[in-house]
Structure 1
């Protein structure tokens, strides 16, 4: 990877940037506008302002900063810097011409070039203020002007007064925007900027913007941009937990030499506020720093050895100085890296003594903290004190406490520490009452539960190297099962071989729990048609053994596998009571893994049948349970996939995007991330955002290239690439993808296409491409695919079409969803109106608006151009009316969804047929090409609502609103929200309330 000092990518500030651009738009429209931008040091105020300034095309941007000389520092520093820049750019004489009355002596207080200042006292001061305001107004008369005053927390009294004057008396009929930035973390209770901010905040045209820290997902984007590649999950966890989402801190940690100490580049910034405090307070902060980012009052009292009065006297300056903040019944450092910097300043002996004091205090009185937290903190302190025996024992006990709390990440961290310390403690096995191999096996299990599949595989390999399969076949089989499960979830080859080997190692008699578990796992992973009988046989044997020996967990898992298997290959709806029975069994055994799998499998089955609403209900219930069981990142993310899919089918795209965004924020395992991004890609393609779709496809393809995946992952991804290439006009690549999918290297039909659930959608997209899209662009005989046809020569378009039909003729139809897909395939083959109408009806019954709108468009085309029929305008009026009705319905559906490419096709057909679509859904000029949702958003924008307010009004995410606003500006050709609102008012799009 290459490393940048700062992130080339501007991350996570779309809403804030939109707010600033909206303020500039209001100023351009003749509304006074000021924005106060606050945030802690390093949160990205300067980067935001720089990005905004670069995008403020046509505006004159004037920037001046206050100097770090305290609140009694250099007078008028930012305005002096602005004036000096203007003199350099325009010349002194040009400035003189702009000043009211041509008098310059007032500005002499700022620059000597303008002569001696005029007198002293209130009158001279007022004259200066008027001249600065007058100069800004004259500049704004020439072109829109942005005045940026940075670091107002260092502003002197004179600067604050002038700033207040400019904000209060700026003219509303000039395009002048004032932006002020300040460090919110510097504003202690007596800071003189606080009352000014409160005062200005009450002015109607002043907006306050507080920059938040970045989310974990945004930190991943920033780190990827800095490093030039995706960092490992544990690296991200470390950087995110230490930086707490502060962009500057992220950059410093990534560019440092390691993660053991705070980089020198940050130390002075972090410790400045600490070093201003009294010595007794600094000493208490050193004690608190050993306690972690948050420390309970009772624990700090016990370790510090101070009475309540002395402790309060020492604490108060730290709280007033914004170094510590009150957090419930305790305190936390304002930022984790401040604690680290203070802790790093401790001498080695001090550090050891303090952590030992904490450990002994917790051992003597464990009730000072909740049980799980007490166990984990005790392990932390013994480890930090470098006392390996109690460190190992406490880590083992902390892992058990974390397991009871279903905190798998923490359990994995504690168990990893046990492994790290094992060789340093000669009697480790006696101390924890288990051997090294058992510890390894437990770590593998927990790594899998925590979603660390790669780590589970590598640890399994390490454990297998310690075991002789001939001497200990049972242990070997158990480890092979663990590795197979992890490899299956990660998409790595060899998982079936591992499980088949494991099954051979465990005898059928006497019946054992291990054999039942292995057979159930093997049944779960056999999914191709050629092994379906074997799959069900293994599941049935596992179920029989589990019931025989009373293994409720494996019984539930086996029942889920059998129910899913039978439902998956069913022609119609089958009995799903097996899922309910499995949940009952799993609930009695507290087997949350089986409970999660029941939700995953049932929602998948229901969606496969086209029962979308029922699928969403099951998936939502499962996601809530995943949060309760502590597996949101793994099972919860998988269920988010199963929730997003039916939401996309139902046309609830905004809702689907929010589900996907939330799941991605949890940093799920790579395969899950790729699947989630796939549904986002579907929506982007349907909405016509090819740039965003290409970016998502590129990222997901990079993930999928690392493993070997099943048809449920590969076929949808192949379909998405096909549709993306067609939308981009890359016809040759599109046909090559179809031909390659039809045939493997040996020339045989790809067995993956024998999966009805995922084969039908691909076949429909492929046939549409080869019979509708590609023939309209080129001659079928002139197009050949890169993959060979049956005779070994490059396949022509006609040959590909024939083979698609051959594959479809052999593909089963299971349930209403596949029936609708097969009807669409048949209609594409015959281009027959009756078949298209049947397909349309099928999609309507399923509640899939996008597929229904596509079918309505195709039916309209078929009605207008029957084989040997007349020109569109020559059709009978009844036919034209039916076509108009189909197109109007299709347009209303596509408009509601925001499916811009489909809208374009519908409008183009209506124009060719000279059909006027009437009604609310019709006239593009009425809505300026905006989707229904974009039209709603524009209406709220014209009311002056922010993205956050719009999100609350429409019950969608702020990020989704930001995307809609960007689309609106692009379609209207507007450079700001204000300009878009002005366009809406000019065209009288909305009635005046």
Structure 2
């Protein structure tokens, strides 16, 4: 009887293959897309994409896999494999001709055949990404291209970043299909791939495809194909029960059944069963190969095994024939990673150490066996696994340098962290690497900043400072203090100003130095309180002078930005924007990307504060593009996303703003950036009546803000949202308590830009707070058109508390002025709310015609925005005032889309009565009440009776 080790029949994946086939057809027709294929280990992801590749006869199929090396992935591993395959097929020059611009210097970071890379830095990373995308796009000019990236659960951050870049910037009319596979069962809650998958899943041309287990019928088909006969029902029951429909386990179990052996008692035994039937010399070679990782180069395996080519081929052939190993380019890969893991775990302690040592020694003899930086990273992995602390430390230090050249900051950070971890175990560590412990701490702190690991960076800088004698090494102390101050600032942690002031005190003013200029510039940037204004300006001017004297363009530009930002009054913005233009010119000439980014951040912020929403959005959008080019999407790019979302919210382009927010959050920005982005999502959720969503976002922001002391620009909008949510939920008493607490805890005169927005919403609460709010408003400055509109709205709200005919006329005028101010700013939500107030004021003054005109305008704006709570309030007012709207709605039409009976039921729900009590009150059955309540919850878009009652109270539906 013959037996196949893998099913010749492709079973149970017709739907999934159809999805991939449709995506491939789309690529052929010029519609680029991405498919993310997930599933547990052994479920058939590789087989599925293999079937796709076999069907893609007219396409160029490029395959690369991520590699597991202990707890770290290998930087850019799948893209290095793809590039190596292209070089084998097209030759180095053939690939070079396809790279846009003809320069392959950045590709040298992936393969040494392309020479030496350009200088390092964030912009180098961006150029590498652009060259990879450009190469793929050029390849699609001749034929469709299918890029398959396997085992993304092992991807390091650099690989994930490049993959995200390629997916996001696929040309919509391109002929590129990207397929990514990953183990879903590996993605624990904190796994770094999870947020990337969630982010990419929201991109319009990305499809998520989850492979489930096979049904019993499909397992029978798979087994029959492997055995070339129908298995017995008894065998099938046992196989299906043990495998639970996992195709890999089915294959292994069937092999055991065919050999007459008992079924294995554990997964390890199951996975090793196919290995144990191979010749002993093959098993020994597989144990050696398992130490090298999921994929191993032929030359490296030969060097470690110590076999000549003939003996190596003789030992390998049974493993390949038995489908334990598969040929993969110039090397070999295990058919399944679990087989390699089982083999590796089965090694005795002595074997484990000895084999890792042999791999390390082979790489030490010839590191060129593997492309950089893979060779250096693998060497560090093997010395560490061999428990040779001295060489583990030395190799980790060199691997960090190699990772830096590839702009793989996360890998560099990991290697430097390992150096620190091993330091105390190597007595002569400083002599071994030529650098002292303090210097390693500082370097790791700097790299942690580039890698986005701010918390760890603060701890490292603090550790470095404990080792530095400030009197003997003032410059080293100043550098560490500046670095810690920058990260504390970005994390909204206290102490950043103290760090920078101390750093400034440690660096002498004479002679002028680059370090002193940078410290003073950083200090100036972080002084925001009114009483710090003189110090801010003085430090910025000194930094400009030093930058000019020592030729530090970046410091010069940064300091000029600080001065311009401070002097750029919202009402006189056009007379000061030249400062941003000059700073950008200086930074551009020196390619000082950090200053370029900060210039865009500051200019867009000032424009938004002045009410120049369209201009602010454009500056921010241009800055985001630059951030992506410089490899700073996660830091400067997400900050600029805040500055883009804000004007989009102002302009009423809420769906576009949500797209910006979701994209930026998907990049996992620093926590304070997350809080600000979530804040704009909260604003939109509140305006649209999505209270559950608003509460979730607000809770997430609250957790972030509780970790540090944030500035007014973050705290005051958060307080406003807290009060708004309580008010929307009908918890008016709690809202007023929160408002009173805010007035006690915050100085609302310190930053009018954010204080006016809070005052307006606190005024809506009315009650005993109004006198105090009026007092604050009298002292609060008004700068620019936006604050003027907020002041007019505040005045209109506080006028509502006055009685009398004269007061009624004043209220109409106040609301009309506010509505006109918001209209001039092109802020539809602000105008809609003001028109609503004007309509009610006109009706109270007895002018129904004017009330109708204002009500119609308010409803038109609110409908366009999807501002459901405002629409409901307008409908309730229309019904009570018996005003017929211009769209023909009946003045006595029922509100909220409810029937008359549903309104009766809703009234009782709002009173807190149970279904049985409502049934008795309305003389209907309990079941009928239940049906009505379900319909009401659906129409109100709420999840509970409590939310329904809160919405009713918020719009005052049953106040009469």
Aligned runs of 1:391-402 on 2, under 5 Å?
A: 391-402=392-403
Residue 397 of structure 1 deviates from its aligned partner by 2.3
Whole-angstrom CA distance in 2 between matches of 1:339 and 1:920: 72
CA distance in 2, matches of 1:624, 1:706: 31
Report the alpha carbon displacement of residue 413 of structure 1 after superposing the two structures with TM: 1.0
Contact in 1 for aligned 2:394/2:432 (Cα 8 Å): yes
What are structure 1's unaligned runs of at least 5 residues? 1-15, 20-36, 46-147, 162-180, 193-265, 745-749, 771-779, 781-796, 931-965, 976-993
Q: How does 1:845-856 map to 2 (within 5 A)?
A: 845-856=824-835
User: 8 Å contact 1:582–1:598 — kept in the other structure?
Assistant: yes
What is the aligned partner in structure 2 of residue 275 from structure 1? 273
Q: Is the 8 A contact 2:353 2:385 kept in 1?
A: yes
CA distance in 2, matches of 1:283, 1:762: 72
- Answering whether residue 912 of structure 2 is matched by residue 911 of structure 1, we say no
Instruction: Please give the residue correspondences for 1:91-102 in structure 2 after superposition, counting only pairs within 5 Å.
Output: none
1:571–1:813 contact (8 Å) kept in structure 2: no
SS of aligned partner of 1:509: coil
1:858 aligned onto 2:837: yes
In structure 2, how many angstroms separate the alpha carbons of the residues matched to 1:456 and 1:38? 34
**Corresponding residue of 2:170:** none
Q: Indicate how the Cα distance of structure 1 residues 287 and 763 shifts in structure 2: closer, same or farther if over 3 A, else same.
A: farther
Quote the Cα distance in structure 1 between the aligned partners of 2:851 and 2:796: 20
Q: Which residue matches 1:467?
A: 468
Counterpart residue number, 2:762 = 766
Asked if 2 retains the 8 angstrom alpha-carbon contact of 1:447 and 1:456, the reply is yes
Answering whether residue 755 of structure 2 is matched by residue 818 of structure 1, we say no
Alignment correspondent of 2:660: 659
Structure 2 residue matching 1:493: 3-state secondary structure: coil
Q: Secondary structure at the match of 1:371?
A: coil
- 2:861 is matched with 893
CA distance in 2, matches of 1:153, 1:283: 38
**Which one of 856, 877, 882 corresponds to residue 853 of structure 2?**
882
- The alpha carbon displacement at 1:515 in A equals 1.5
CA distance in 1, matches of 2:875, 2:859: 8
Assess, with a 3 A threshold, how the Cα gap between structure 1 residues 291 and 653 changes in structure 2: closer, same or farther: farther
- 1:171-250 equivalences in 2 (<5 Å): 183=246
Number of the residue aligned with 2:220: 156
SS at match of 1:279: coil
What aligned pairs does 1:272-671 form with structure 2 within 5 A after superposition? 272-273=270-271, 275-277=273-275, 279=278, 286-293=287-294, 295=296, 313=317, 316=320, 339-567=340-568, 571-671=572-672
2:690 is aligned to: 689
- Structure 2 residue 771 is the aligned partner of structure 1 residue 802: yes
Deviations 1:218-243 (A, max 9, x none): xxxxxxxxxxxxxxxxxxxxxxxxxx
Quick one: distance in 2 between partners of 1:289 and 1:920?
A: 76
Q: 1:688·1:899 contact (CA, 8 Å) conserved in 2?
A: yes
Q: Distance in 2 between matches of 1:565 and 1:299?
A: 60
How far off its partner does 1:341 sit? 4.2
**What is the number of residues matched between the two proteins?**
667
Query: Any idea what SS the aligned residue of 2:573 has?
Result: coil
Aligned to 1:40: 40
In 2, Cα distance between the equivalents of 1:338 and 1:682?
Answer: 51
Equivalent position of 2:820 in the other structure: 841
Listed one character per residue, the Cα deviations across residues 299-357 of structure 1 (whole Å, up to 9, x for unaligned) are 55765666796687456467x67x9796x877766876665444322233333344344
| 1:756 corresponds to 2:725 | no
Distance 1:438 1:893 in 2: 60
Counterpart CA distance in 1 for 2:337 and 2:575 is 55
Inter-partner Cα distance in structure 1 for 2:770 and 2:580:
41
Relative to the length of structure 1, the TM-score reads 0.60
Of 813, 827, 830, 2:796 maps to 827
Distance 1:803 1:390, change over 3 A: same
Contact 1:372 1:398 in 2 (8 A): yes
Q: Is the 8 A contact 2:44 2:247 kept in 1?
A: no
Could you list the per-position Cα deviations for residues 637-657 of structure 1 after superposition, in whole angstroms to 9, with x for gaps in the alignment? 323322332232233333333
Q: Is the 8 A contact 1:891 1:922 kept in 2?
A: no
- TM-score, normalised to structure 2's length? 0.62
Q: What corresponds to 2:913 in structure 1?
A: none
**CA–CA separation in structure 1 for the residues paired with 2:42 and 2:726:** 42
SS at match of 1:510: coil
Q: Report the CA distance shift for 1:396/1:516 in structure 2 as closer, same or farther (over 3 A).
A: same
Structure 2 SS opposite 1:769? coil
The alpha-carbon deviation at position 685 of structure 1 amounts to: 1.4
Q: Name the CA distance, whole Å, in 2 between partners of 1:42 and 1:968.
A: 47
Cα deviation, 1:747-781, whole Å, max 9, x if unaligned, reads xxx435421221111111111222xxxxxxxxx4x
| Contact 2:320/2:327 (<8 A) preserved | no
Cα 1:521/1:270, change in 2 over 3 Å: farther
Shift of 1:722: 0.8
Partners of 1:730 and 1:972 in 2: CA distance: 18
Worse-superposed segment, 279-288 or 492-501: 279-288
| Aligned position for 1:949 | none
